[in-house]
């Protein structure tokens, strides 16, 4: 009986996860298309887009993190058959996320000062400022898009996210072509045009999501726009307290990899390039367990809403098992296809040699990464986000990064600094620590003595 329930829960998680996977990969392809198309215009414009993206992506991730508080809330209400409460809770989250988007858009007058924090050539500075400015204008739209996207996903409707993201990718390519290179009356704007295209894509996806939410038959019973609820500061505060740790956790991870790239800079361009090859491919493979974790958060919230603690446990275990097996497959592929993978990125022999060694670490990295991200998302499904935040901070910044610095930049343990390899060992140590601690926290949360506490969250 348990085996059957395990298989059924695993099937439901996979049904939710695969559209999320396609959507996540499609989002990555938007960044790839930006880089390629700006690079064909000029190396300076490609560098400006890369710098502008580095500046704006933490802000986008912060908004996304706040919005990720919504799926566990409404999936729990759905499981409890409290349909009337879904619209109210969703609108309160909408007020919060939109406010955060407006606050970030409030940085527009300070765009030049923000970009000036990063020393660069005048020509590069001008293009980067324009790119960042256009993306900042899109922040309120991005906030509303993330709100509606997470509303749909919380109700188990993940395919619309996939379809709309694919539409966004197509709009991104067309927009890049029009505004980077110029067509007819539209002047060629180079990297700055890439920022305009990004803003247009964000609002395009927002409009498409509004249309889906408003008219999709499957969502009519939830009636999100049927009645406007006044802002409830108690509910908004509770949602913020749940979303802020998620947002900070995402920022910790994003900034960690940025800091490591800076710490590797003294070792030269070859080391940084090889590190980037391994990191970029790992980020692609990370989309598999990440999607599984997002699906697990939805299912766990739904089962908690049904007051079915046992089935919530089964959902978490099924997601971790499937995610680990998937990571084992992607790690094996990484090891077996190292030469092919590196060849997609570079033909430089020195970079190839170093990246070949780093991909071994990247393969091991995927195993612990899968367990920790699914466990973290499972805790999100249980609304236990503060513990997730504390554990990831300790694992990434107090265990993983110091280990990487000691091995990569000093000879305290090894005869000479290990450079990039040392930092990758640090990644593995940090993520393994996160996997163990998050897993332990998950077991604690799932203990029967905590059942009443979970219902109250």
What are the start-end ranges of the H helices in 116-232? 122-137, 139-154, 159-176, 191-215
Any bridge partners for residue 183, and if so which? 186
Q: How many residues does the chain have?
A: 457
**Average pLDDT, stretch 248-276?**
87
SS3 category, 45: helix
Give helix then strand counts, H and E, for the chain: 18, 0
Residue 2 pLDDT grade (very low, low, confident, very high; cuts 50, 70, 90): low
Tell me the average pLDDT of the chain.
Answer: 92
- What pLDDT, on a 0 to 100 scale, did the predictor assign at position 235? 96
The predicted-structure confidence for 283-320, as pLDDT tens digits, reads as follows 899 999 999 999 999 999 999 999 899 999 999 999 99
**Is the Cα torsion angle 233, 238, 239, 244 positive or negative in sign?**
positive
Does pLDDT of 455 surpass 70? no
So what's the pLDDT on residue 320? 97
pLDDT tens sequence across 166-202: 999 999 999 999 999 999 899 999 899 999 999 999 9
pLDDT of residue 33: 87
Q: Facing residues of 186 across strands? A: 183
Per residue in 27-78, pLDDT (tens digit) is 888 988 888 888 888 888 888 888 888 889 899 999 999 999 999 999 999 9
Question: For helices 233-264 and 269-305, what crossing angle results, to 10°?
Answer: 160
Mean pLDDT of 271-287: 89
Q: Quick one: how far is CA 224 from the chain centroid?
A: 26
Q: Single out the residue of 279, 293, 447 nearest to residue 376, CA to CA.
A: 293
- Which region among 1-5, 41-45, 323-327, 366-370 has the lowest average model confidence (pLDDT)? 1-5
**Does 451 score more than 60 pLDDT?**
no
Q: How many CB atoms lie within 10 A of CB 119?
A: 7
State both tokens at 21: 């996977």
Question: 41 near 180, Cβ under 8 Å?
Answer: yes
Confidence of residue 1 (pLDDT cuts 50, 70, 90): low
Write down the pLDDT at residue 253.
85
Whole-angstrom Cα distance, residue 103 to residue 139? 9
d(CA 216, CA 336): 44
pLDDT band at 121 (very low <50, low <70, confident <90, very high): confident
Is 0.85 topped by the overall pTM?
A: yes
């Amino acid at each position: 009986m348990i085996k059957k329930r395990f298989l059924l829960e695993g099937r439901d998680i996979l049904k939710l996860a695969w559209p999320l996977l396609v959507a996540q990969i499609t989002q990555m392809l938007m960044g790839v298309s930006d880089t390629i198309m700006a690079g064909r215009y000029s190396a300076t414009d490609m560098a400006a887009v890369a710098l502008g993206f580095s500046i704006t992506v933490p802000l986008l991730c912060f908004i996304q993190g706040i919005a990720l508080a919504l799926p566990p809330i409404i999936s729990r209400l759905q499981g409890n058959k409290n349909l009337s409460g879904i619209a109210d809770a969703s609108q309160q989250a909408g007020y919060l996320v939109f406010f955060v988007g407006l606050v970030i858009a409030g940085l527009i007058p300070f765009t030049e000062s923000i970009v000036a924090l990063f020393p660069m050539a005048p020509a590069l500075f001008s293009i980067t400022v324009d790119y960042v400015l256009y993306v900042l204008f899109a922040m309120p739209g991005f906030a509303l898009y993330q709100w509606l996207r997470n509303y749909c996903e919380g109700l188990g409707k993940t395919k619309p996210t996939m379809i709309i993201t694919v539409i966004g990718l197509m709009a991104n390519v067309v927009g890049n072509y029009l505004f980077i290179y110029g067509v007819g009356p539209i002047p060629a704007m180079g990297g700055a045009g890439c920022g305009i295209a990004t803003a247009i894509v964000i609002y395009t996806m927002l409009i498409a999501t509004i249309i889906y939410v408003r008219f999709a038959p499957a969502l009519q019973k939830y009636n999100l726009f049927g009645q406007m609820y006044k802002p409830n500061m108690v509910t908004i505060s509770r949602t913020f307290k749940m979303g802020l740790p998620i947002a900070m956790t995402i920022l910790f991870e994003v900034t960690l990899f940025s800091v490591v790239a800076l710490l590797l800079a003294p070792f030269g361009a070859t080391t940084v390039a090889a590190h980037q090859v391994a990191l970029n491919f790992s980020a692609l493979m990370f989309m598999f367990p990440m999607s599984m974790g997002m699906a697990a958060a939805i299912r766990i919230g739904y089962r908690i809403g049904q007051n079915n603690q046992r089935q919530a446990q089964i959902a978490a275990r099924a997601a971790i098992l499937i995610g680990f097996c998937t990571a084992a497959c992607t790690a094996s592929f990484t090891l077996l296809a190292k030469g092919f993978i590196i060849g997609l990125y570079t033909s430089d022999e020195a970079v190839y040699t170093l990246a070949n060694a780093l991909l071994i670490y990247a393969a091991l990295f995927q195993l612990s990464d899968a367990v920790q991200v699914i466990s973290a998302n499972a805790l999100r499904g249980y609304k236990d986000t503060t513990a997730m935040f504390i554990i990831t901070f300790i694992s990434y910044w107090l265990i993983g990064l110091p280990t990487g610095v000691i091995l990569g930049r000093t000879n305290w343990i090894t005869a000479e600094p290990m450079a990039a390899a040392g930092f990758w060992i640090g990644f593995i140590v940090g993520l393994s620590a996160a996997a163990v601690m998050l897993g332990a926290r998950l077991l604690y949360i799932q203990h029967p003595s905590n059942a009443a506490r979970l219902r109250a969250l």
